[in-house]
Chain A
Amino acid sequence: MSIADFQATFEDHSSILVLVKCQRIDDQRDEAIQNVIRRIQKLRFCRASDVPAVSIKYVNDYPARRNEWHQFQAHRAVRGVITVGEYRGPGNVQWSLNKHGELVDPYEKTVLETRCVFVGKDIPTQPSENPVNDADCPSNLRREQCLFYAPDDLSQVEEDIVDFVSNIVIVLKSSRIRLEQDVNNKKVDDKMLIAPFEKKDLVGLDVDSRQYRKRWVARNKKMLADISLQLGFVQEALSLYGEVMEVFKAVGDFLWLGAVYEGQCAASVGHLTPPGRGGGLVRNQSFPMRARRNTPTLLSNPTLTHAGSCKSLPVDVDPIEAKQFGRDLLTLDEIVDKVRESNANYERFTSAVGPHVELNLKLTRLLSTFERRLQATDFLQMAVVTYCRINEGSWKLGWYDVVAQLYRDIGCLRKAAFYTRIGAVQAARVHDGIKANNALCYQLMVKGLQGYQVDLLASNPYEGRRWHPFSTPQPVLGWSRLQATLLSDLILTADRLQDGKKLAAHHCVYYLCYMFPFLEAHEAHQCAKKLDELTAETGPLLLSGIKSDLLDEPLPEIHLINYPLVTKVKPLPLAAEPTKWRTSTASSQPDGGTPFIYAPSKNKPNARQPGIENGGIFPSKWVKGEVVSVQMTFQNAASFALQLKDLKLISDGNFDCYPCSFTIGPSERGSAPNSLDVLIKGTPRSTGVIRILGYECLVLGIRTRCFFKDAKWMHRKVVPAPSDNSKEFSKNFEFIINCVSELPLLEVSGELQNNSEITVYGGETKNYRVKLHNKSSVPVEMIDISIDGSRKASIEWNEEELKSQLPIAPDATVTFHITLTGSENFMASQKTSEHLRTSSASPSPMGTPSMRRFQSTPNTPHRNHFHVPAESATDTVSTDITISYSGGAGMEDNYARKCCIKTRLTVLQSVIITQWDVLLADSADECYLVLDIENRTSHEVELEYQEGKSLAVEKKCKIPVLIPRCKPSGGDEHLEELCRQHIDKHVKLKWSLTQQQRQVTGYANLNECKWNPSQIDTILSASVACEVFLQKHPYNSDDEFILKMGVPLSVQVEAQNSSLCSLQELLVSLHVYQDYQNGTTQVSNICFHGPHKIPIESIEPGQKVRVSFCLLFLFVGDYKIDVDCSTLSGDCAKAVSSQVEIRGDTPKQHPLWRTCPPLKITVVDLERDPLLSVPL
């Protein structure tokens, strides 16, 4: 125990010091004894034997060294001792009495009264039964001074204590009177009052010298003042202090002068009004409390007389004395000044360090209550400096604690933290044989951390911090350098504790996690090593709820969440994702079930969430019982490698995760953190929702659990909209994955591989065998195949073959075939055909399209020859063959899987038809398709265009294909389509080529061929077949028909209905003209005998009707006759009519048949040209 009382206050000067000791028979803490002691100590003030109120200061321990200063300052003397012990019957009393004697002995010089208190159940009820005999008592105890209390009846305690204090007061009073007399009579003896270290100074001092006498009197007067102050006579004490002050100054007794100043301050303190208290009380103006000291002439001042007659003072108070008292009282500022002076005096004496330090502490406390904080810190600092200077190197038990507490009271929390830390450091040192107290050191260190903004108890120190743990810290929070030092010291201290490994590990994790941005690479590395060492001793640790007696509260759970740092988490969809088998319209909505087409509120969170990486609802589904994986990206920004063991996902739902272990290498400072992608696998064990909330692993020996919602850096970019519910928002930081029932899994093999490149020529057919192997334990019950992609090739499969093999049992294989045909537009490009059309619309020499048509003979082609630009030979497109299948429980839930055969299909051009036309064949029932074929391959192509007819095509060729003409059935059908089908049926253009010793065969078709109306007319066989008779002979166009001028020509037309329906309102007409072969025709020089148009009512199918015309040529020349059979009702040719509209007198006419070519008649004049002999 130090010589200075760290708890000293100015009030101590005016209190009587009483030592209360607990006598312990054994180490048991007796509640009853403590209760009595508490009861005793409650009595702080008492009024006894006509003195003003006396205050009592109780101490439990008082060093005898300090008691030696009792002559210097009276309040340092122990005046009374109370020992409290247990009463265990009369036999035990003697021990207690002896103990009491021992306890009192060191203070015998000053103790005025003692009490020995016994607490017990069987105490004597009557004083006569007192088991204590005077003979047994030690010299300093009498029988009456022993008190007995029952634990349940302590009512007597207060009374006894008052009695005890009164006794002390009486003795003090008497000694005061004696002193007063001695001082007044100047009964100087050789016993001067001294401070303990002054003994040697007095040796050989002349007792009779004037100096000595002065000092003797002054010191005794000061003692008198001290005692007066203790007894409550403040006024007297102050005046006495005032008197002796001058004497001490004069004789140069500076130590005592300092004590006088201190006494003055102490006496004045009780009369100061603390701030906030008594402020509202209106002071009696006449009460001279605040009379200024700098008016020494006050006594002679006339106002004094006025004061003397003052009626407002109490009756027995002398107004002059009161005035003087007011002058002697010090104000707070004066107290500060006095203490400064006192300090200066004490400073001269190195041995007076106790009172010196105490004085400063006293003033600090006083100033702190008066909220003069800056001044208080000054004096506290002075105390610290004094204490350090003198006791350098020695252990100051409790000193820094007191200093820190005082700073805390003042409000200087940082200073307090600083001294707490110094105290901690001191506690850990070995001083003068006292062992280092690590526990205390640790406790103090933890306490000190608060001043540095380090809160070990904060459950989430990241809360409210904006920064990313590995980026530049922003903003800089706290004094990072200091914090780092403190924490590393704390770790070391905790490690030294007996059971502090867990604490140390906790602090290590705290240090690594929350100080990381501020740590140097080597610091972090060291800490990690330390953690490794710690956990090597203790085994893997889970740092949660660590309790210690040294801590007020258990430490919160902590996890090493940024070693390593998870930056990205992404659940991966299964290779064969389950999909809805057939999505009905309602469930096709992504959110399932909203009847609205677009629901903005539903879509909003998705818009904010770019992907599953931020958490959220996983778009794909997992399948129960199948291995699924989650991809996680870890970053290690530390300069050391991190080994992660037993990494598992934390999930809500029935999910088995397979733990994995790996190591992430170190990263270099300044470069990007080392990152590693890890796949964590697991299996869902049930259907329904699985939530992945975080992960856990063992790193650096610490079992760490990290929830994604805590890993703020992962969702730094997602800023919550103000309207968002915070609960909803937090949901975004977990992964919600739907699991569906078991589904089969097929493996596709065979000739058609995934991602295969297929090359076919247009029209070529290829056959593939596809094998499906069921790898799962669920049978495949349904299969559906769909084709997605280009229409460049037609893909067909044998549905029957496939369906017949269902269901596919687990581990079984089925085979089916897929046929692939390269389909191509065999026609030249569209542009060409458009060109064609424009050319056909060019004005005909006849002026009317109908005229022009009759000129379209093979000899006079009405089309030009176009150069067809070579099209790109290869055209590659991707074609997906999707096989959807399902089975088992998954099928019942309407889920299926798809496997896709993706192919790259290249269709090469084989042959191309650049131009086409239709010509009538010899027979009216047949026609020729004349096709210009171009070979687009790099090989020679053998083209079989008709049965038995084939030719080799090198580059280009023209082929005639003879087909029967198409007979319309008479129904209301589209004629062009009819023609197409007809052609498709009859034209088989089989091409074959040899490529790399492989025979490639294919069929070209004319499906894309555009036929113009006249061509269609030609292809379609006429519904009316007419035969023309000239002069009753059938006309043959090959023979020349010569007619003598002036001879009438009879033209008979026999029309036969060759169609299947009856024809109505037919009109047969003749048109005769002269063709000059230069674009001009002349219709004259002819005379009809009879009509030139003859109507026919109707012709039934198969019926023949003959009509006759007669005409006469008036001049010689070459004539041509068109025989025309048309219908007015347009029954059959309705569709054609719209396209083939003939401009003429009767626009409603629809031609059914025409002579083609026209009849040619040469008219000669026999008389002029007798050489000609024509049989007429």
Chain B
Amino acid sequence: MAVALALINKDNSPLYLRTVAEPANGEVAHKLLYMLHTSLDVVEEKVNSSVPGKNDSRDLCLGVLYSLDEYKLYGYVTNTKIKIVIIVELGVAVQFRDNDLRNWFNRLHQAYTEVISNPFYVAGEEIKSKKFEAVVNDIMRKQ
């Protein structure tokens, strides 16, 4: 299941960060944050290295960024270089399908599009939207 989720702007600063870790459990939260942060290297690498045929410009999903013993990181990059990274915890006996992931990313992308359509939202600011939050909650709670 998804344990952490980040929406990162084109300058690699987070617009939205969320981990399932309890606020008191700083260690786990930090660990997840470090993971999200370091995953940007891979995202950048994947975005910059254009292997012809493989990196279809229409496919925004980057797939697995890297995998660790307990976690797997998935990435998604919009055309405006907004990155979405989701950390999925492994080991839980849950069937996890690639399709679900794509669905999540698409929903998040849609939600972000709605956020920036809000005239009161200043691009680059931290996202504080109930609707967006609801989508995230839905994804984090699933499974």
B-binding residues in A (CB < 8 A):
373-374, 377-378, 381, 407, 411-415, 418, 452-453, 472-479, 481-482, 485
- On whether the beta carbons of B13 and A412 are closer than 8 Å, the reply is no
In the assembly, what is the distance between CA of A476 and CA of B128, in Å?
12
A414 in contact with B37 given A475-B13, A476-B14, A479-B14 (CB within 8 Å)? yes
Q: What 0/1 pattern do residues 16 to 48 of B give for CB contact below 8 A with A?
A: 010000000000011001100110111001100
In the assembly, what is the distance between CA of A415 and CA of B66, in Å?
12
Chain A residues, CB < 8 A from B15: 476
Chain B residues, CB < 8 A from A477: 13
Chain A residues, CB < 8 A from B29: 481
Chain B residues, CB < 8 A from A412: 38, 41-42, 45
A476 in contact with B38 given A377-B66, A482-B30 (CB within 8 Å)? no
In the assembly, what is the distance between CA of A377 and CA of B46, in Å?
12
Distance from A332 Cβ to chain B, minimum over Cβ atoms (Å) = 15
Distance from A475 Cβ to chain B, minimum over Cβ atoms (Å) = 3
In the assembly, what is the distance between CA of A481 and CA of B37, in Å?
11
- On whether the beta carbons of A411 and B37 are closer than 8 Å, the reply is no
Chain B residues, CB < 8 A from A473: 126
A413 in contact with B66 given A477-B13, A482-B33 (CB within 8 Å)? no
10 closest Cβ contacts across the A-B interface? A475-B124, A412-B41, A474-B125, A414-B38, A476-B126, A415-B38, A414-B41, A373-B45, A418-B38, A415-B41
Residue of B nearest to A412 (CB): B41
- On whether the beta carbons of B45 and A478 are closer than 8 Å, the reply is no
Distance from A486 Cβ to chain B, minimum over Cβ atoms (Å) = 10
A-B contact pairs, 23 of them (CB 8 A): A373-B45, A374-B45, A377-B42, A381-B66, A412-B38, A412-B42, A413-B41, A414-B40, A415-B41, A453-B13, A472-B125, A472-B126, A474-B122, A474-B124, A474-B125, A475-B122, A475-B124, A476-B124, A477-B13, A479-B37, A481-B17, A481-B30, A482-B33
Residue of A nearest to B8 (CB): A479
A411 in contact with B41 given A374-B46, A482-B30 (CB within 8 Å)? yes
Distance from A775 Cβ to chain B, minimum over Cβ atoms (Å) = 57
Q: How large is the interface on B (under 10, 10 to 19, 20 to 34, 35 or more residues)?
A: 20 to 34
Chain A residues, CB < 8 A from B125: 472, 474-476
Q: Is the interface of A mostly helix, strand, loop or mixed?
A: helix
B118 CB-CB contact with A under 8 Å: no
Residue of A nearest to B46 (CB): A374
Chain A residues, CB < 8 A from B9: 475
B117 CB-CB contact with A under 8 Å: no
Given contacts A377-B42, A415-B38, 5 further A-B contacts (CB under 8 A): A378-B66, A453-B13, A478-B13, A479-B37, A481-B30
Distance from B23 Cβ to chain A, minimum over Cβ atoms (Å) = 10
In the assembly, what is the distance between CA of A413 and CA of B38, in Å?
8
- On whether the beta carbons of A474 and B37 are closer than 8 Å, the reply is no
In the assembly, what is the distance between CA of A109 and CA of B57, in Å?
60
Distance from B69 Cβ to chain A, minimum over Cβ atoms (Å) = 8
Query: Which of B13, B66, B122 contacts A479, CB < 8 Å?
Result: B13
In the assembly, what is the distance between CA of A175 and CA of B14, in Å?
62
A374 in contact with B49 given A474-B125, A476-B15, A479-B33 (CB within 8 Å)? yes
Distance from B123 Cβ to chain A, minimum over Cβ atoms (Å) = 8
In the assembly, what is the distance between CA of A474 and CA of B33, in Å?
20
Distance from A480 Cβ to chain B, minimum over Cβ atoms (Å) = 8
Residue of A nearest to B128 (CB): A472
Residue of A nearest to B126 (CB): A476
- On whether the beta carbons of B45 and A452 are closer than 8 Å, the reply is no
Distance from B71 Cβ to chain A, minimum over Cβ atoms (Å) = 13
In the assembly, what is the distance between CA of A570 and CA of B51, in Å?
62
Distance from A639 Cβ to chain B, minimum over Cβ atoms (Å) = 18
Chain A residues, CB < 8 A from B49: 373-374
In the assembly, what is the distance between CA of A414 and CA of B49, in Å?
18
In the assembly, what is the distance between CA of A411 and CA of B47, in Å?
13
Chain B residues, CB < 8 A from A472: 125-126
Distance from A1048 Cβ to chain B, minimum over Cβ atoms (Å) = 112
In the assembly, what is the distance between CA of A479 and CA of B17, in Å?
10
In the assembly, what is the distance between CA of A153 and CA of B42, in Å?
53
Distance from B102 Cβ to chain A, minimum over Cβ atoms (Å) = 21
- On whether the beta carbons of B38 and A481 are closer than 8 Å, the reply is no
Chain A residues, CB < 8 A from B66: 377-378, 381
In the assembly, what is the distance between CA of A931 and CA of B30, in Å?
101
Query: Which of B13, B17, B34 contacts A418, CB < 8 Å?
Result: B34
- On whether the beta carbons of A418 and B37 are closer than 8 Å, the reply is yes
Residue of A nearest to B127 (CB): A476
Chain B residues, CB < 8 A from A474: 122, 124-126
Distance from A392 Cβ to chain B, minimum over Cβ atoms (Å) = 14
Chain B residues, CB < 8 A from A413: 41
Residue of B nearest to A473 (CB): B126
In the assembly, what is the distance between CA of A374 and CA of B54, in Å?
14
In the assembly, what is the distance between CA of A477 and CA of B11, in Å?
9
Query: Which residues of B, 114-143, contact A by the 8 Å Cβ criterion?
Result: 122, 124-126
Residue of A nearest to B123 (CB): A475
Residue of B nearest to A477 (CB): B13
Distance from A398 Cβ to chain B, minimum over Cβ atoms (Å) = 21
Chain A residues, CB < 8 A from B14: 476, 479
Chain B CB within 10 Å, residue with most, of A377, A407, A415, A452:
A415
In the assembly, what is the distance between CA of A923 and CA of B33, in Å?
117
Distance from B9 Cβ to chain A, minimum over Cβ atoms (Å) = 7
Chain B residues, CB < 8 A from A479: 13-14, 33, 37
In the assembly, what is the distance between CA of A473 and CA of B15, in Å?
11
Chain B CB within 10 Å, residue with most, of A381, A411, A475:
A475
Chain A residues, CB < 8 A from B41: 377, 407, 411-415
Residue of A nearest to B45 (CB): A373
Residue of A nearest to B34 (CB): A418
Query: Which of B13, B42, B126 contacts A374, CB < 8 Å?
Result: B42
Chain B CB within 10 Å, residue with most, of A407, A452, A482:
A482
Chain B residues, CB < 8 A from A374: 42, 45-46, 49
In the assembly, what is the distance between CA of A226 and CA of B104, in Å?
53
In the assembly, what is the distance between CA of A378 and CA of B42, in Å?
11
Chain A residues, CB < 8 A from B45: 373-374, 377, 411-412
Chain B residues, CB < 8 A from A478: 13
Residue of A nearest to B9 (CB): A475
Residue of A nearest to B6 (CB): A479
Chain B residues, CB < 8 A from A373: 45, 49
Chain B residues, CB < 8 A from A377: 41-42, 45, 66
In the assembly, what is the distance between CA of A472 and CA of B128, in Å?
12
Chain A residues, CB < 8 A from B40: 414
In the assembly, what is the distance between CA of A35 and CA of B36, in Å?
48
Residue of B nearest to A474 (CB): B125
In the assembly, what is the distance between CA of A415 and CA of B14, in Å?
17
Chain B residues, CB < 8 A from A414: 37-38, 40-41
Distance from B33 Cβ to chain A, minimum over Cβ atoms (Å) = 5
- On whether the beta carbons of A476 and B13 are closer than 8 Å, the reply is yes
In the assembly, what is the distance between CA of A464 and CA of B126, in Å?
18
In the assembly, what is the distance between CA of A378 and CA of B65, in Å?
10
In the assembly, what is the distance between CA of A296 and CA of B9, in Å?
53
Chain A residues, CB < 8 A from B46: 374
Distance from A364 Cβ to chain B, minimum over Cβ atoms (Å) = 14
In the assembly, what is the distance between CA of A476 and CA of B17, in Å?
11
Chain B residues, CB < 8 A from A378: 66
Chain B residues, CB < 8 A from A481: 17, 29-30, 33
Chain A residues, CB < 8 A from B38: 412, 414-415, 418
Chain A residues, CB < 8 A from B126: 472-476
In the assembly, what is the distance between CA of A986 and CA of B13, in Å?
95
Chain B residues, CB < 8 A from A415: 38, 41
Distance from B12 Cβ to chain A, minimum over Cβ atoms (Å) = 8
Chain A residues, CB < 8 A from B17: 481
In the assembly, what is the distance between CA of A481 and CA of B33, in Å?
8
Chain B residues, CB < 8 A from A476: 13-15, 124-126
Chain A CB within 10 Å, residue with most, of B37, B41, B49, B122:
B41
Chain A CB within 10 Å, residue with most, of B34, B49, B124:
B34
- On whether the beta carbons of B30 and A452 are closer than 8 Å, the reply is no
Chain B residues, CB < 8 A from A453: 13
